[in-house]
Amino acid sequence: MTDQVKELVSKCLQARDLAYCPYSRFPVGAAILTIDGAIITGCNVENASYGLTVCAERTAIQRAVVEGHREFTAIAVTCDIKDRFVGPCGACRQVLMEFGSDWIVYLTKPDGSYKETSLSELLPLAFTPAHLAKN
Ligand code: THU
């Protein structure tokens, strides 16, 4: 594991500990690596009006964009499930795809072990901003 991946994984685990999830009690943490090496984190933020819940990955993306980042290389995602690697929900896959298909995705277990995959593997044949380009 490179130091950068180690840090990304550790930051997503820390972010999970900040999750606001009183309804599901299912904490999720995400950490995004920007092209210039910054790491932006997110956790899920639930709401009494359940449908207003925002996932960890999307919280991280919103934060990153507000902080001026639009180019990303990787995301690490974690939850409390110990015995298998868990991927981002479909909505989050689409939101990540808005910022390119070249993301490395580290599906991270609570002990810090991870499976490396990619966004294009997680969301094949995706609808992307390129499809909206006039031709
Ligand atoms: N959740 C995420 O934060 N990311 C995902 O990719 C899947 C689900 C959150 C939403 C909700 O707060 C809780 O996990 C249970 O669905």
Confidence band for 134, pLDDT divided at 50, 70 and 90:
low
**CATH number of 3-132, picked from 3.65.10.10, 3.40.1170.10, 3.40.140.10, 3.30.1060.10:** 3.40.140.10
> Residue 58 corresponds to which tokens in the numbers above?
């999307």
pLDDT tops 70 at residue 122: yes
Closest CA to 96 of 43, 32, 12, 39: 32
What ranges do the domains of the chain cover?
A: 3-132
Active site residue 116: no
Residue nearest to atom 7 of ligand 1 (CA): 89
Give the H/E segment covering residue 43: strand 39-43
CA–centroid distance, residue 1 to ligand 1 (Å)? 26
> Residue 99 corresponds to which tokens in the numbers above?
């910022």
Confidence band for 1, pLDDT divided at 50, 70 and 90:
confident
| pTM confidence score | 0.97
CA–centroid distance, residue 44 to ligand 1 (Å)? 6
For the segment 84-107, the average pLDDT, to the nearest whole number, is: 98
Report the relative pairing of strands 72-78 and 39-43 from DSSP bridges: unpaired
